[in-house]
Amino acid sequence: MPKETIAIASDHAGFELKAQLKQELAAMGFEPLDLGTESPSSVDYPDFANRLAAALKDGQAKRGVLICGTGIGISMAANRHRHIRAALVHDVTSARLTRQHNNANVLCLGARLIGADVAKDCLKVFLTTDFEGGRHENRVAKMS
């Protein structure tokens, strides 16, 4: 059975955390699809949100992770795409609930706001929590 591919991208502020989360993805048995950036040199976060959105639309991955300094800008850029439900999370509770209630397909993190350990915990919870469906299905459908 092939490994599930998880797309991951960041701007310069998230470059270091992205490298750590790629290792975490591989350790969890996922195949990381690194969509950049390739260095800590300044770049524009919308470009990387767009790359990830295109990868999900093209079927290269079903889920993704985006990282910028606060997570705010990159989540806003990602959510401009109708097939993306990107959620900025700061703890495992928000990571769990965004999967259960919102069926989020992209996890967004702020590298300057949370540490690597919290980010790894959020990633694990996000990727192992299922959508509850039921009363949430109609609400999620309205976003697409």
Active site residues: 68, 101
- The DSSP result for 66-117, as a single string, is EEESSSHHHHHHHTTSTT--EEE-SSHHHHHHHHHHH--SEEEEETTTS-HH
